[in-house]
Structure 1
Amino acid sequence: MKFRWMIAAAFAVAGLGLVSEATPVVAAAPCAAGTYGPSGMDPCTPASPGHFVPDAGADEQIECDAGRYQDLPGQTSCIDASQGFHVPAPGATEELPCLAPTYQDLVGSSSCKDAPAGSYVVDDEATEPTPCSPGTWQADTGQVSCDDVEPGFFTSISGASTQSPCPVGYFQDQPGQTLCIAAPAGHFVPDVEATESTPCAAGTWQAATGESACDPAAAGHYVPDSGADEQLQCDVGTHQDEAGQTSCKLAPAGTFVDSLGAEDPTPCPAGTYQTATGSTSCIDAEAGTYVPDAGSAVPGTDCPVGRYQDQTGQSSCELAPAGTFVDTPGADEPTPCAAGRYQELAESTECVDADAGTFVSGEGSAVPGTDCPAGRYQDETGQTSCKVAPAGSFVATPAATEPTPCAVGSYQTSTESTSCVDADPGTFVAGTGSAVPGTVCPVGEYQDLAGQAACKPAPAGGFVDVEGSRDFTPCPVGYHQPTQGQSGCIPAPAGGFVDVEGAPDFTPCPVGRYQPALAQSSCLLSPPGHFVALPGASEARPCIGGTYQPDPGAMTCRVVAIDFYSAGPGATEQTACDAGFTTNGTTGATACVAIVGPTITVPDDLIVRTDDSEGRVVEFAVSVTDDVDGAVVDCSAQSGDRFPIGDTVVSCQATDLSSTTSFASFTITVELVPRFATGVAPARLLETRSSSPTVDGEAQGLDRLPPGNQLRLQVAGRAGVDPDARAAIVNVTAIGPSSVGYITVHPCLDTAPTASSLNFSAGRTAGNEIIAELDDTGAICVFNSAETHLAIDVVGQVPQTSNYLPIGPARLTDTRSTGSTVDDIDVGGGPNPSGDTIVVPVVERAGVSTDARAVVINVTAVRPDTSGYATVHPCLDDTPLSASLNFEAGTTRGNEIIAELDDEGRLCVFTKGATHITVDVVGEFAGVSDFQAVSPARLLDSRPDGTTVDGHQQATGAIRAGQTLRVEARFFGAPEAPDGLVANVTAIRPLAVGFLTVWNCVGDPPLASSLNFGTGDIVGNDLIIDLDDGEFCVYASATTHITIDAVGYQTIAG
């Protein structure tokens, strides 16, 4: 009906109209392909799924054959089953997958195939089976997998349905293999299907692979162990006369074997012997012995006394010839008579000494000695030559037994002389036996005669300025000499003159005259404005303010009149007061005063210091007063302005209502004081232990450093240290050393210097804060003499502008006899007794300049006899109550400190307890600086009986584990609030192993140690401490008493 309605609708569209729905308007048509109906005509029905209608006009549908299907209605054909699928029955509406372990490689199939033997199918819808891979096999059909071949079998091809057995000589110990393994050399496989090879037994061997049996070792050979791939030849000294053996036999005593693979030993020939078994040769009878028979197993017989044998393997001995002797049995040669001895007889056992005054020059002499010639002598017997008369003596006759010394006034430089020479004029010989020409007369003396024993002194008024002079020289005009024996003349002093030659004294200038220069022949008149009141003046004194002098050569100055003035000094005339000014009726005025005017009050000249090259802000007060009508002051600079480095004159003026102006001025001097050092936040730069990090992850976890190791550590550019820093302040800690040793820190010199930066004992952690010079790349080198872990913390830096100059390090003092210093001074003085002081000269040694005010040194107590301490201080001071270094009996310990020098450039080391001492200098302070060294002063002592320099911070009690103590950095002689402090911090008898951390109280304690200690130790470290408002903090990881001794401070105040 749907088809008919569609036709009716089509007609309606064409405008033909509809007569009646029940009235057909077309005739019946044949059914189209894919449909069918009665008699092949309408009504038609679409072919149902599983069926098809191939042609039009069909009256029935056709069922799809097995192997084909159709899933849609109204189709003209069926679909072949795909590969991997099948259709088992007719009329199917879908294809079915082949299920593992089946497959189908064809289309249109009604069934699936089983996987054949040697293959498998593991997945559904398979289009082909998978062959078993080499090493696997499958005997059955229709399987989802293959089996690994068993040990002892193999398959080398794909698709195997059987496994192959390993042949003899081969084996396989693993399943699933593609081939068998040939029995390795030294092994065999006797049966098929073997899963392992059998090692050849000891005494047998096999060089080839894949063999089924082993070979026995041949005679002359052996196989000591099982599994051998070769037989070993019997070594020299052994033999073997049987086959299949595991070892060889030693050649018996009296025989030898000298070739490999020997079956039998060879007897030793006559003239030789062999006491040992297993020998490769026989031993010739030694020289001095003989062996008469062959096959001997004992050494030869010694030759008797008086006879010898110089050949080996001999049967008899020879007689010692004349000129020789043999004094012991078994001699291998006669001994020639030594030079200086002789022997006329043969077969002797000793020789005869040549008489005194004679000599025998060569060995083996058979005649007595020869007389010494003239010019030579011999005072001993049995000599090989005569002694030449030494310089300073002579021998005039032959056969002399001693030389004659040269007389006083004569000498002899040559040896073997028969006379002496008189000393020349200008020289002298003071004693007998002189071997050098006369000693030249020293400066200040002369000699005009020859052959003299002394020189003459230059007379007063004369001098001798060269050595070896034959005369003296009179002093020239302007010079004098009051003393005999002088090397020069004294210039006439300022205020005196000498106007003749050869003068013993000078003449003082008379009054009215003066002489400022030395060595003058006359005096000068005092100039106008000056006077000379006393004789011997070296300068003319200027007339003071209120006086004047218009004439030269004056003895006094004139007083200025009323209403006149001279400001002085050196006025040559008096000046009248200007209009409006007066001297108020007095004479001798230095200035006139305004009749009316304001008074300006300014400060005295100011001197301030700064480390800022841009200058400093300065505050000051200026005021003005006027008793009449008031005034206002105005200055060229104001309080609170920044003043540049150098001198700035501040000019002020004030004008009152009467227009009277007053003036005043003062000078502000700003001195640039370079910083000795600047602090950085304490940070770890080196840590060899793997358990602790460094600040930037560099130089960490290096493991223990071996003895004699030197490492290079970059410092500049890390942890806030400037790239161009001159030196760094670091705390060096040796952790768990394996033995006694030391650390030397230096600027990467070619060779580590003879100096120690840190000394340590076995197993004892030790630290020291040092100032380390950096090399051109900003690095330091660290040498360790013994194995140890090492940690290095940076706490500060020395900038390029600092007045601190690194030196060395170089050794200045070493009391040990085996020690050495940079200039071989102060060596080997022995241990310093308890209570004694060592004086150490410092300036002009190891490069220390003459204007050095303080030095950085490392002072070390070496193997002390008892426990005690050392105090370093300027030698001109009394020993202060402080400790620079604490030490224990037998333990070498050092500390780097900053030490003030006395006015003579020295420092002193006091020890309480006898000990050797070494002192190494590493730097100096010279010129203007923010650092000021002081004689050591105790700031804090926590012990119950402790005392300090000012009674403050004493007996405070031990600092507890985990406690932080705030310390005031004040002491006599220091400013109220210094910027930095240099102090020796000492831990005394801690209750446990631990450390102290010292910092400026800003934030929490940093990850760095300032001082490490062990239980019961007394140990200190010299620290450079950054301050916060004049205070610093000390953190303790374990309970301990502490002392703190100040040795200097940093400040820019002033």
Structure 2
Amino acid sequence: SQGGYTLTISGANFDSTSSVSIGGVTAPTVGTITPTSIQVTVPSGIGQQSVVVSGDNGSSGVNNLFTYYAGGSYTAITPTRIVDTRSGATDPATYAGKTLNSSNESLSFAVAGVGGVPSNAVGVALNVTAIAPDTSGYLSLYPSGTSPPATSSLNFAAGSYAVANMVFCQIGTNGSVTVANFKGSVDVAIDVEGYVVSGSGDSFDTVSPYRAIDTRSGANDPSTYANETFGAGQTRSFQITGSGSPIPTSGVSTLAITLTVVNTKANGFASVFATGTPSTSPPTFSDINFSQGQTVSNTVFVPISASGSISIYLNQSADVVVDVVGWFGSSGKDQVFLTSPVRVADSRSASGYQDAGQTLSGVVGAPDTVTFAPTLIPTGVDGVIGNLTVTNNSTAGYLTSWSSSITLPQVSNVNWSSPGTYANAAVIGTSSTNQSLITSNAKTDFVIDVSGFFAPTI
């Protein structure tokens, strides 16, 4: 955030010697200090920062009471690779050979002014792929210039072919984002798929999540594309608007979807894009990577054609499932607000977070409730930008999250075909009291990390 607005701090024993700093930067006082109130002008900053009041009566101590949000409108772009750490990478070559080889090794990379992202962008949508990890671990992405968060953006197992996940991230100092490796050695490829800028533009609107495409044999909700498994190297188009769809027939630029690939016959990848694009065929980017026999999901903010259709390309034979959770366009009502990622819930025993010890039972009709505290997410937002992770499971399964104000939708957010730790970005619906429900058809622990939300304003 650029700061510049007024913040009121309430307390006790303030006097004329009292001063305020936010993130170690002095916040100039506005008006007269009273014994119980100080008004200050907020300096520019990123993420969660400490607010400290100091004076002759002592100091308030260090805390994390203030959160900077960077907000604005969203624009989808043709996916462009901006990072590839593999040895010999040429498109781009900027980070070639910079494999993340040790625990907690990080790489900061420029995003503002790169790959079609304007220099004044405050946030980006990235598709991040971990390639050939030699041990199980995770990556964390966060705004450069902030402390590494206690969150994960992408989880992978040793020897994985390639694991991808979408990350919506606030841009940090020097127009950069940082990716940190937890342990071991792993290469990283990052494609930029869209950006957020302050001011007018495409805004977001939620819909009750629904299944729009299912090509599996016997699919009946919907049955429109049942028994239409993709062949290797096939591109197919799907009409999204019209015929009772909740997506408007005009003024929509981008869909927010969960793309799942199932019944995979070989290692491969899938790409999703507006029908009639891109200029290259097949596409030179991927939205999801899969191994033979794997079921895997990824969230995609995909441009939609003027006629309301999207296209999907698979380089290997598989089935696809697409769930729609929202859209961006000229008549959307919500801006995108981003901040440093923060952990909200963790059901693992003694995690110290909300829902500790609340392992999901595997009974779909017995969901757990998650509340997004107003100290992290303002009350009354229309949805949260999160990362959902499952772990400590012993069977295949799926996980679904949704607003507590609606009935359970017949969709999924995370899918897994064998026991392990898996993550997927998600647009998580919330009620007017900032509550969501989460359930799974398999016994599993879950973790929720949040990096932003959708709201008209804050």
Which TM-score applies when normalising by structure 1? 0.23
State how far apart, in whole Å, the 2-side matches of 1:704 and 1:930 are.
36
Shift, 1:679, TM fit: 1.5
Q: Superposition pairs for residues 743-892 of structure 1, below 5 Å?
A: 743-764=139-160, 765-786=162-183, 787-801=185-199
Q: Superposition pairs for residues 163-312 of structure 1, below 5 Å?
A: none
Shift, 1:776, TM fit: 3.3
Closer, same or farther in 2 for the Cα pair 1:1024/1:962, shift >3 Å?
same
Q: Is the 8 A contact 2:86 2:99 kept in 1?
A: yes
Residue 374 (structure 2) pairs with residue 976 (structure 1): no
Structure 1 counterpart of 2:229, from 958, 961, 980: 958
Corresponding residue of 1:997: 271
| Deviation sequence 1:625-680 (CA, Å, 0-9, x none) | xxxxxxxxxxxxxxxxxxxxxxxxxxxxxxxxxxxxxxxxxxxxxxxxx9731112
State how far apart, in whole Å, the 1-side matches of 2:75 and 2:227 are.
30
Q: Superposition pairs for residues 444-459 of structure 1, below 5 Å?
A: none
Corresponding residue of 1:932: 205
Closer, same or farther in 2 for the Cα pair 1:797/1:1013, shift >3 Å?
same
Q: Secondary structure at the residue paired with 1:995?
A: strand
State how far apart, in whole Å, the 2-side matches of 1:976 and 1:947 are.
24
State how far apart, in whole Å, the 2-side matches of 1:704 and 1:776 are.
21
| Deviation sequence 1:428-450 (CA, Å, 0-9, x none) | xxxxxxxxxxxxxxxxxxxxxxx
Closer, same or farther in 2 for the Cα pair 1:675/1:800, shift >3 Å?
closer
Q: Superposition pairs for residues 85-484 of structure 1, below 5 Å?
A: none
Residue 313 (structure 2) pairs with residue 1040 (structure 1): no
Q: Secondary structure at the residue paired with 1:677?
A: strand
| Deviation sequence 1:243-268 (CA, Å, 0-9, x none) | xxxxxxxxxxxxxxxxxxxxxxxxxx
State how far apart, in whole Å, the 1-side matches of 2:268 and 2:327 are.
28
State how far apart, in whole Å, the 2-side matches of 1:690 and 1:1038 are.
26
Residue 152 (structure 2) pairs with residue 742 (structure 1): no
State how far apart, in whole Å, the 2-side matches of 1:732 and 1:763 are.
17
Q: Is the 8 A contact 1:675 1:931 kept in 2?
A: no
State how far apart, in whole Å, the 2-side matches of 1:732 and 1:773 are.
15
State how far apart, in whole Å, the 1-side matches of 2:175 and 2:86 are.
24
Shift, 1:737, TM fit: 0.9
Unaligned ranges ≥5, structure 2: 1-70, 333-458
Q: Superposition pairs for residues 532-543 of structure 1, below 5 Å?
A: none
| Deviation sequence 1:371-423 (CA, Å, 0-9, x none) | xxxxxxxxxxxxxxxxxxxxxxxxxxxxxxxxxxxxxxxxxxxxxxxxxxxxx
State how far apart, in whole Å, the 1-side matches of 2:226 and 2:207 are.
24
Shift, 1:690, TM fit: 2.4
* Structure with greater strand percent: 2
Residue 262 (structure 2) pairs with residue 988 (structure 1): yes
State how far apart, in whole Å, the 2-side matches of 1:719 and 1:782 are.
18
Q: Secondary structure at the residue paired with 2:73?
A: coil
Q: Is the 8 A contact 2:130 2:188 kept in 1?
A: yes
State how far apart, in whole Å, the 2-side matches of 1:793 and 1:693 are.
14
Q: Is the 8 A contact 1:997 1:1010 kept in 2?
A: yes
Amino acid at match of 1:994: G
State how far apart, in whole Å, the 1-side matches of 2:192 and 2:82 are.
7
Q: Secondary structure at the residue paired with 2:76?
A: strand
Q: Secondary structure at the residue paired with 1:933?
A: strand
State how far apart, in whole Å, the 1-side matches of 2:141 and 2:310 are.
28
Residue 88 (structure 2) pairs with residue 685 (structure 1): no
Structure 2 counterpart of 1:1024, from 296, 301, 304: 301
State how far apart, in whole Å, the 1-side matches of 2:264 and 2:299 are.
18
Closer, same or farther in 2 for the Cα pair 1:802/1:753, shift >3 Å?
farther
Q: Is the 8 A contact 1:689 1:704 kept in 2?
A: no
Shift, 1:749, TM fit: 4.2
Q: Is the 8 A contact 2:100 2:106 kept in 1?
A: no
State how far apart, in whole Å, the 2-side matches of 1:943 and 1:675 are.
38
Q: Is the 8 A contact 1:940 1:1043 kept in 2?
A: yes
State how far apart, in whole Å, the 1-side matches of 2:76 and 2:237 are.
18
State how far apart, in whole Å, the 2-side matches of 1:976 and 1:963 are.
27
Shift, 1:750, TM fit: 4.0
State how far apart, in whole Å, the 1-side matches of 2:148 and 2:176 are.
14
Closer, same or farther in 2 for the Cα pair 1:956/1:965, shift >3 Å?
farther
Corresponding residue of 1:339: none
Q: Is the 8 A contact 2:146 2:172 kept in 1?
A: no
Q: Secondary structure at the residue paired with 2:246?
A: coil
State how far apart, in whole Å, the 1-side matches of 2:145 and 2:153 are.
15
Q: Superposition pairs for residues 348-747 of structure 1, below 5 Å?
A: 676-695=73-92, 697-747=93-143
Amino acid at match of 2:266: A
Q: Secondary structure at the residue paired with 2:138?
A: strand
Q: Is the 8 A contact 2:100 2:181 kept in 1?
A: no
Residue 238 (structure 2) pairs with residue 967 (structure 1): yes
Deviant stretches of 4+, over 6 Å: none
Q: Equivalent pairs: percent with the same residue?
A: 30
State how far apart, in whole Å, the 2-side matches of 1:988 and 1:782 are.
29
| Deviation sequence 1:179-199 (CA, Å, 0-9, x none) | xxxxxxxxxxxxxxxxxxxxx
| Deviation sequence 1:49-99 (CA, Å, 0-9, x none) | xxxxxxxxxxxxxxxxxxxxxxxxxxxxxxxxxxxxxxxxxxxxxxxxxxx
Shift, 1:1034, TM fit: 1.0
Amino acid at match of 1:791: A
State how far apart, in whole Å, the 1-side matches of 2:88 and 2:319 are.
29
Amino acid at match of 1:1045: D
State how far apart, in whole Å, the 1-side matches of 2:192 and 2:103 are.
24
Amino acid at match of 1:748: S
Q: Secondary structure at the residue paired with 1:693?
A: coil
State how far apart, in whole Å, the 2-side matches of 1:999 and 1:771 are.
18
Shift, 1:701, TM fit: 3.1
Structure 2 counterpart of 1:1014, from 291, 299, 308: 291
Shift, 1:693, TM fit: 2.5
Amino acid at match of 1:955: A
Count of aligned positions: 253
Q: Is the 8 A contact 1:677 1:802 kept in 2?
A: no
Closer, same or farther in 2 for the Cα pair 1:780/1:707, shift >3 Å?
same
Q: Secondary structure at the residue paired with 1:979?
A: strand
State how far apart, in whole Å, the 1-side matches of 2:330 and 2:227 are.
31
Q: Is the 8 A contact 1:726 1:798 kept in 2?
A: yes
Which TM-score applies when normalising by structure 2? 0.52
Q: Alpha carbon RMSD of aligned pairs, Å? A: 2.1
Unaligned ranges ≥5, structure 1: 1-673, 804-928
State how far apart, in whole Å, the 2-side matches of 1:931 and 1:703 are.
36
Shift, 1:976, TM fit: 1.9
Closer, same or farther in 2 for the Cα pair 1:678/1:1007, shift >3 Å?
same
Q: Is the 8 A contact 2:131 2:187 kept in 1?
A: yes
Amino acid at match of 1:720: G
Q: Is the 8 A contact 2:99 2:188 kept in 1?
A: no
Shift, 1:968, TM fit: 1.6
Residue 341 (structure 2) pairs with residue 945 (structure 1): no
State how far apart, in whole Å, the 2-side matches of 1:1010 and 1:939 are.
18
Residue 327 (structure 2) pairs with residue 1049 (structure 1): yes
Greater RCO, CA 8 A, separation 6+: 2
